[in-house]
Every structure is written in structure tokens, then in C-alpha cells.
Amino acid sequence: MSLRNTYTSYGWLAKGFHWVVFLGFVALYGIGFYMGTLPVGPDLFAKIGLHKSIGIIVLALAVFRLVWRFINPSPDLPEGMKWYERLGAHGVHIALYGAMLIMPISGWAMSNAANFPVSVFGWFTLPNMIEPSKAAVENLKAFHGTMAWVVLGVIVLHVAAALKHHFINKDNVFSRMMPFSKEDA
Ligand code: HEM
């Protein structure tokens, strides 16, 4: 498998970014929803700490992934796709890249607004982004919470499109993002 993408398939670095970020999102949603069921106490604070640490790792990966995306373009979409399908695919990908940046950054700002530091697994602490403010906490909480559902909707669309390519269109769009696919160079 080559490092770089080709015209027909993703290279191992793009696939690695895709599936590690996917695992990050699974963990963030899992822990995020679980946090909502916990009473205020040490267990909740531990889970919030974990959620924040994973979120910042996803943010860092998203930055590297975007840089890699610019210097190593993605494979072409299949020729037969209609213009609105292409527009939809690109729009959803842009929205997902936006989500990888906006979700962690809004969480980081929310934490600082509530006067909590953002530490990544206790290895280091990020600088404070904004001054403590009750109003900012409320606004950022509403934004982060609403966007979590919007992004989940976009992910569902993305997965549905990937499955449609595989089972209905029967093209290689799904398999070329899979580890060890037969499209690998
Ligand atoms: C079960 C879950 C998922 C499946 C089956 C899946 C599948 C795929 C496939 C097949 C592609 C390649 C599309 C193409 O060849 O043009 C792709 C691309 C992409 N996926 Fe996913 N995906 C999943 C989850 C996610 C998640 C959670 C995110 C981010 C939050 C994500 C973000 C992206 C992005 C940004 C691209 C575009 C890559 C590029 O720049 O070309 N995916 N996905």
C-alpha cells in the first residue's frame, strides 16, 4: 500500500487518518452521551477530562489531516456521478472537516469560559482561549450540544452514501477507503 493517494485509491496515511479520527468520534460521542447521565462528582470530572483529551487529539489529527489533504489530493469520484451527487459528496466532506475543527475548539473555549484548564491526558495544558464568563459558557454549551446532533446527522448521511456506493452503485468508492482494499497500489 502506498503512502500517498493515487487517482483511484487512498494511500495508507489518508486511510489511517480517516479511521483513527473515526475511532475518536466514536469515543467522543460515547463518552459525551454517557457524561450527560452522570451526577456531578469525581466520575463525571474524570469522563470530562477524557472527553477533552480525546477531542484535542482529534483536533491535532484534523490539522495534520487537512495539511496532508492539500499536498496529496483525494482520488477522483466515479465518472458517472451526477453534478449534484458530486456537490453533495464534497459538501459533506467539507462539513466533516469543519466538524473535526469546530467541535474540539468550541469544547476548549467552553472549558476556559467555565474557568477550567484543558489538559491532554495530564501531559500538558493548553493556553486559555477566552476569559471566564457565565454567558459564554451557556452559549458555547448550547452550540456544542446542538452541533453534536447536527454532526451526527452529517455522519449518518456520509455512511449512508458510502453504503449506497457499495451496495447500489457497486463502484469502488467504499472499498478504496478500507484498509487493505484491492485498489491498493
Ligand atoms: C462507519 C463510518 C464511516 C464510513 C463507512 C466512512 C466511509 C468513507 C469512505 C468510503 C470515504 C471515501 C469517499 C471517496 O472515496 O470519495 C470517506 C471519506 C471521508 N470520510 Fe468517512 N466514513 C465513516 C466515518 C467518518 C467519520 C466519523 C468522519 C469524520 C468525522 C469521516 C470523514 C471523512 C472525510 C472528511 C472524508 C473525505 C476524505 C477526503 O478528503 O477525500 N468519515 N469515508
CA of 112 to the centre of ligand 1 (A): 31
Query: What domain count does the chain have?
Result: 1
> Would the CB of 22 count as within 6 Å of ligand 1?
yes
Domain assignment present for residue 5? The answer is no
Domain assignment present for residue 3? The answer is no
Domain assignment present for residue 6? The answer is no
Domain boundaries, position 126: 12-177
Domain assignment present for residue 2? The answer is no
CA of 128 to the centre of ligand 1 (A): 32
pLDDT given for residue 181 in this prediction: 79
**Cα–Cα dist 113/63, whole Å:** 24
Please write the tens of the pLDDT for every residue from 125-176: 999 999 999 999 999 999 999 999 999 999 999 999 999 999 999 999 999 9
Please write the tens of the pLDDT for every residue from 64-86: 999 999 999 999 999 999 999 99
CA of 130 to the centre of ligand 1 (A): 32
CATH (domain of 38): 1.20.950
> Would the CB of 162 count as within 6 Å of ligand 1?
yes
Atom 37 in ligand 1: which residue has the minimum CA distance?
93
**Cα–Cα dist 117/144, whole Å:** 17
